[in-house]
Amino acid sequence: MAAPDSAESPSLALGPTQAPTGPAPDASGDRLPKDTPIGDYVIDRFLGAGAMGEVYAGHHPVIGKKVAIKVLRAELSASSEAAERFVREARAANQVDHPNVIDIFNFGRINHPGPHDGRHYLVMDLVGGTSLRARVAQGPLEVAAALDILGTIADALDAAHARGVVHRDLKPDNVMLSDATPPKVFVLDFGIAKLVAAGSEAMTGNGTLTGQGTWLGTPGYMAPEQWSSDGAGPASDRYALGVMAFELLSGKLPFVAANLPAMMEQHFRAPVPALATRRGPAHA
């Protein structure tokens, strides 16, 4: 399935959080009910919620295609500028053509009376499996398994970068492992961080994006150029992939800090810890 984005409180924003695996509290108090029409699709069930919105399983009522529907927060649809940028970025993200990338193949705005009217939605393939975040939570991966996953992600990034698309928020939460044996690796949410920023910037009129839900990335994985502005490029994704490599092999992030300034300072100036100091004897 399309993994829900992780809901991060300020105290958790410095590192990874476990993506919801079932119904989670919804701040709006009124999730979209079963059988709600969303464009050409119909909602089947709620999958999870996070900082960007809710994720639902759905289907096409005529051809029966199973899909994941991500409904973005209402404030991200609050302005015409945000709406225009949403369309541009969603189209760009959909240009990535790679077997390990979950495409956004439909998007639009909810158009029926009620509290959700006007909210943007994205439609993606529904893939059974678990997030890489859940796998990392079980402990470090064996080297061969980690290299297989990282190599697949790197290939997907190359395809995206060749199309001019930067992920901006690569982390284990945005990677799915299918139920197949061996599992197939899928990268989710290309460009979604930029979509969220588009809505937040349009609301505040401020190009410097800070605070919960408005980072163009997740601090534990962010390259130095992402901390002050949207300077993200292909190198930023490769930096995040390097952080993920450290995490997959050690079970821990290379940099951990009590606050955002300290985290930023580590990403700017601290040497990368030796992997052997983080990886237990059983995995050395």
Q: 182, 118, 157: which is closest to 238 by C-alpha?
A: 157
Does the residue 119 lie in any domain? yes
Residue 163's domain comprises 10-283
The per-residue pLDDT string of the chain (284 residues; one tens digit each, 9 = 90 and over) reads 555 543 332 222 343 333 333 333 344 456 889 999 999 999 999 988 766 678 999 999 999 999 999 888 777 667 676 667 667 767 777 788 899 998 788 888 888 877 788 888 989 889 889 999 999 999 999 999 999 999 999 999 999 999 888 888 899 999 999 999 889 999 988 766 665 555 555 444 433 333 344 456 788 999 988 887 667 889 999 999 999 999 999 999 999 888 888 888 888 888 888 887 666 544 54
Inside any domain, residue 131 = yes
Annotation marks residue 169 as catalytic: yes
- Does 81 reside within a domain? yes
Q: Identify whether 3 is part of a domain.
A: no
Q: What angle do CA 141, 146, 149 make, to 5 degrees?
A: 130
| Any domain includes 205 | yes
Residue 136 within a domain: yes
Q: Where are the beta strands (DSSP E) in the chain?
A: 37-38, 41-50, 53-59, 66-72, 104-109, 120-125, 129-131, 175-178, 185-187
Active-site residue, from 169, 173, 189, 230: 169
Position 5 in a domain: no
Q: Is 263 within the bounds of a domain?
A: yes
CATH number at residue 75: 1.10.510.10
- What strands, in cross-sheet order, belong to the sheet with 37-38? 37-38, 41-50, 53-59, 66-72, 120-125, 104-109
**Nearest-angstrom CA–CA distance, 235 and 224:** 10
Q: What's the domain count of the chain?
A: 1
